[in-house]
């Protein structure tokens, strides 16, 4: 599917949701392997967005659904978070949300909202929380998909290596973790042998389908085991110091206006 066709379809889906759900989309991006830079030919498009309701929706004693999720349709996986939910997650330095704001594939943005939200993301970015998230993800994916198996799905190596390299990024105090996998590789993967094995895997991943399987890669497996052990032995990075009042002010500005 051509990029222009996908963008038009995504924007059409967002416009339809705005009408059906009576919301306003503030930001929408690609969040999966296509944004990470290692999509297969048949990878889905993982569209994620932030939205706000009309003021009256918030002036109620009832708890209401704070996500919009569309069934997977013709390669499009579309879902979004309501603004208050997003800000609560931002307060916790939620890594997926932070990554959305770094996506190289943006389908829609309100310029003022995006700029201000990114400023808040910087204020509430917590190396400690993000490090713990990525290390837990890498360890879980290693144990769940690769460890001790005779045949493995090629893409699962990438779902371990990406969070591992994200931990290195945080360890080296390089700021918020980027979305593009290659940016992580270029900045923190120093081991030449591992780089060569990873590059070979990426070529196979991009050329193949989502279910390609192979014998485990000894070089990558050794690196993962050693790096998991090393990272688990590190002390905790620093925490976030954001001002919660800033989140309330931002929320009122976008949610409580007509």
Whole-angstrom distance, CA of residue 20 vs CA of residue 6: 21
DSSP 120-172: HHHHH--HHHHHHHHHHHHHHHIIIIITT-SSEEHHHHHHHHHHHHHHHHHHT
Q: What is the pLDDT of residue 147?
A: 96
Q: What is the pLDDT of residue 214?
A: 86
Tens of pLDDT, residue by residue over 225-250, are 999 999 999 988 878 778 999 999 99
Contact of 185 with 195, CB cutoff 8 Å: yes
Instruction: Read off the pLDDT of each residue in 251-258 and give the average, rounded to a whole number.
Output: 85
Q: Does residue 157 sit in the same domain as residue 249?
A: no
* pLDDT over 70 (residue 3): no
Contact of 87 with 251, CB cutoff 8 Å: yes
Q: Which residues contact 238 (CB under 8 A, 6 or more apart)?
A: 126, 127, 128
Tens of pLDDT, residue by residue over 203-212, are 888 887 555 6
Q: Does residue 24 sit in the same domain as residue 104?
A: yes
Q: What is the pLDDT of residue 258?
A: 53
Q: Which residues contact 10 (CB under 8 A, 6 or more apart)?
A: 28, 45, 47, 76, 78, 107
- Give, for 197, the enclosing helix (H) or strand (E): helix 192-207
CA 166, 171, 173 angle in degrees (round to 5)?
100
Tens of pLDDT, residue by residue over 30-88, are 998 999 998 887 789 999 999 999 999 999 999 899 999 998 888 899 999 999 999 99
CA 218 to the chain's CA centroid: 28
Q: What is the pLDDT of residue 30?
A: 97
Q: Does residue 158 sit in the same domain as residue 217?
A: yes
Q: What is the pLDDT of residue 15?
A: 97
Q: Does residue 228 sit in the same domain as residue 216?
A: yes
Whole-angstrom distance, CA of residue 155 vs CA of residue 157: 5
- Coil, helix or strand at residue 208: coil
* pLDDT over 80 (residue 19): yes
Q: Does residue 226 sit in the same domain as residue 197?
A: yes
Most confident segment among 58-62, 88-92, 152-156: 88-92
Q: What is the pLDDT of residue 211?
A: 55
Q: Does residue 133 sit in the same domain as residue 31?
A: no
Instruction: Read off the pLDDT of each residue in 161-169 and give the average, rounded to a whole number.
Output: 98
Instruction: Read off the pLDDT of each residue in 177-196 and give the average, rounded to a whole number.
Output: 97
Q: Does residue 91 sit in the same domain as residue 137?
A: no
Kindly state the tokens that stand for 242. Answer: 């954001």
* pLDDT over 70 (residue 2): no
Q: Does residue 93 sit in the same domain as residue 141?
A: no
- CATH number of the domain at 100, please: 3.30.460.10
The residue among 171, 186, 146 whose CA lies nearest residue 238 is: 171
> pTM of this prediction?
0.93
Q: What is the pLDDT of residue 256?
A: 83
Q: Does residue 8 sit in the same domain as residue 105?
A: yes
Task: Give the model's confidence band at 135: pLDDT under 50 very low, under 70 low, under 90 confident, else very high.
Answer: very high
Domain count, the chain: 2
Q: What is the pLDDT of residue 212?
A: 67
Task: Give the model's confidence band at 24: pLDDT under 50 very low, under 70 low, under 90 confident, else very high.
Answer: very high
Q: Does residue 100 sit in the same domain as residue 8?
A: yes
Q: Does residue 16 sit in the same domain as residue 55?
A: yes
Domain region containing 191 = 127-232
Facing residues of 28 across strands?
49, 108
Whole-angstrom distance, CA of residue 187 vs CA of residue 170: 11
Q: Does residue 13 sit in the same domain as residue 121?
A: yes
């Amino acid at each position: 599917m051509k990029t222009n066709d996908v963008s038009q379809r995504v924007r059409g889906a967002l416009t339809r949701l705005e009408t059906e759900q009576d919301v306003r989309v503030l930001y929408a991006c690609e969040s999966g392997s296509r944004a990470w830079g290692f999509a297969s030919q048949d990878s889905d498009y993982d569209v994620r967005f932030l939205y706000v309701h009309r003021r009256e929706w918030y002036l109620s004693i009832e708890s209401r659904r704070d996500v919009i999720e569309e069934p997977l349709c013709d390669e499009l996986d579309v879902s979004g978070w309501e603004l208050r939910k997003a800000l609560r997650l931002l307060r916790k330095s939620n890594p997926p949300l932070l990554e959305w704001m770094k996506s190289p594939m943006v389908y829609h943005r309100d310029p003022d909202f995006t700029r201000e939200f990114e400023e808040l993301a910087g204020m509430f970015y917590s190396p400690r929380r993000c490090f713990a998230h990525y290390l837990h993800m890498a360890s879980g994916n290693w144990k769940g998909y690769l460890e001790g198996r005779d045949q493995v799905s090629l893409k699962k190596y990438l779902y371990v290596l990406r969070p591992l390299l994200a931990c290195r990024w945080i360890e080296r105090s390089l700021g918020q973790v980027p979305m593009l996998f290659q940016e992580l590789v270029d900045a923190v993967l120093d081991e030449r042998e591992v780089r060569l094995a990873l590059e070979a895997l990426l070529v196979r991943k991009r050329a193949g389908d989502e279910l390609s399987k192979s014998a485990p890669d000894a070089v990558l497996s050794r690196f993962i085991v050693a790096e998991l052990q090393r990272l688990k032995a590190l002390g905790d990075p620093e925490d976030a110091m954001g001002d919660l009042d800033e989140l309330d002010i931002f929320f009122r500005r976008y949610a409580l206006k007509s």
